[in-house]
A and B are shown apart, each in its own frame.
Chain A
């Protein structure tokens, strides 16, 4: 059996998006800035895509800026707020320890430029509270950036409440909603969101395209200079097929959200239940405030990369936060942020489902993961020490 369970990394494109892209490539290949008919047809596609997406996010079409993806949107949002802050003498930025690197690395760069960056601790449940945010806000705070849902452990943050706190204090609020858009209901107005980043390929759209929502009246810094595309805020000929495909994917995701969410939640909970029977395992992050397709667990005494390779051999494709998969000596900063010790964080497994997965696939995963965990534990000196009582169980 083949099971793709790495949908938080990326998804397969849905038919609606693929069909729309092919149609665009065939029929509306023009440059949206050209005055002739072919160009204007492409421009109409852009307008239609912007209107469609705005409807699903609860904003005005003119508040949406197309980007190359979530990372660019995060960069632009944060740098814009910082530029504005610097003009006003406000150089304090609040974020969290478990943000995506697109946020964290942008903040590190700003720190070197003299900004004071305060990263809030994350409770072991994987939740940051509005009270934490409120306590950190100062007179010179220019921006709060808290992710909508975490990419590794899938926990959903109280975004509307954090937004309300920011609004009350007159502080800009940005959220990296890359994992949430198309999966959770979002209304930027009702949730007091000033800026929001999204990426198409996380909701069955194409790769290399995303968007930044920026509330009307909020200063936006241009990162890519050139032509006047995106109202001068993002130069470069628009990738009309990708943008149009993204809009089609969002429409499909939002129109089917409730149905998909119910199906996913059932499969997720069954998977958690099945894998929790493995001795000395733990679910990472709150189980209730969680993306419907996210399962993230640690198994004591084993290492994540070898777990992934063995699962891949059995046709199960997943991801891990071990050091070897993160490409550094440390395991995932997210797992460390929620307080897992290094040796436990190395043994993490993320299974991220989509509505394309089936209950049969879930049963297959529940059958195979314990076999692989047992096999690796049998050759693990760490597990040997745990069994002999020479090392203390942490989970």
Chain B
């Protein structure tokens, strides 16, 4: 089979699908031209804890599964912990992805980062822009 059981489970029963009204941070990465877009919504309390997270994804099976897994991995965590989420960790949690689907996990990591960046911007929290360098820099789309 193309996908592991874990991937198929998250694809068939994606966790945290939807939107959050008045989200504290919204991040969108990807491009319709490339065939995948992820949008992530975060609800963050005064202690910087992610109390709720939802996602919307346009994309293939692994794009939906990685979005779902990423939301599960950051729910209840602090913003700082969420920023540490790597695409590799998402891939491992899904028991692997086919080589040509790894970029989906990169998108999932970037969607989380983009949402946190939006939260920082909205709250006026200072940050090092370097932390968010490289997000949404798909060479394929830039033409």
**A residues whose Cβ falls under 8 Å from a Cβ of B:** 301-306, 309, 313, 322-324, 327, 329, 331, 341-343, 346, 379-384
Q: Does B69 contact A (CB under 8 A)?
A: no
Cβ contacts A to B, 6 pairs, < 8 Å: A301-B58, A306-B59, A306-B64, A313-B12, A379-B56, A384-B19
Assembly CA distance A266 to B60 (angstroms): 32
Evaluate contact between B39 and A381: CB separation under 8 angstroms.
yes
Cβ-defined contact, B36 with A379, below 8 A: no
Given A303-B35, A329-B34, A384-B39, 14 more contacts at CB 8 Å?
A: A305-B60, A306-B59, A306-B61, A309-B61, A324-B61, A329-B35, A329-B140, A331-B35, A341-B33, A346-B35, A379-B18, A379-B57, A380-B56, A381-B28
Q: Is B76 an interface residue (CB 8 A)?
A: no
The residues of B that contact A342 with a CB separation of less than 8 Å are 32-35
Interface residues on B, range: 20 to 34
Residues of A close to B28: CB separation below 8 A: 381
Is the CB of B44 closer than 8 A to any CB of chain A? no
Instruction: Give A313 to B13 CA distance when docked, in angstroms.
Output: 12
Contact A381 B60 (CB under 8 A): no
Within 8 A of A (CB), among B48-71: 55-64
- How does the 8 Å CB contact mask read for B19-54 relative to A, with 1 for contact and 0 for none? 100000000100011111111000000000000000
Q: Are A343 and B57 in contact (CB under 8 A)?
A: no
B60 and A324 form a contact (CB under 8 A): yes
B85 proximal to A (CB < 8 A) = no
Nearest B residue to A327, CB-CB: B100
Are B11 and A306 touching (Cβ within 8 A)?
yes
Which B residues are within 8 Å of any A CB, using their own CB? Answer: 11-12, 14, 17-19, 28, 32-39, 55-64, 100-101, 140
B34: chain A residues within 8 A (beta carbon)? 323, 329, 342
Which residues from chain A contact B57 at a C-beta distance below 8 Å?
Answer: 379-381
| Chain B residues closer than 8 Å to A380, beta-carbon distance | 37, 56-58
A302-B58, A306-B64, A309-B61 known; A379+B35 contact, CB < 8 A: no
Q: Which residues of A contact B19 (CB under 8 A)?
A: 384
Contacts of B64 in A (CB 8 A): 306, 379
**In the assembled complex, which residues on chain A have CB atoms less than 8 Å from the CB atom of B60?**
303-306, 322, 324
Assembled-state Cα–Cα distance A304/B56 (Å): 16
Smallest CB gap from B57: residue in A: A379
Residues of A within 8 A of B58 (CB): 301-303, 380-383
Chain A neighbourhood of B18, CB < 8 A: 379
Distance between Cα atoms of A380 and B36 in the complex (Å): 10
User: A298 CB to closest chain B CB, in angstroms?
Assistant: 13
| Complex: A381 Cα to B107 Cα, angstroms | 14
For A346, give its contact among B12, B32, B140 (CB under 8 Å): B32
CB proximity of A317 to chain B, nearest CB, Å: 14
Chain A positions within 8 Å of B36 at CB level: 303
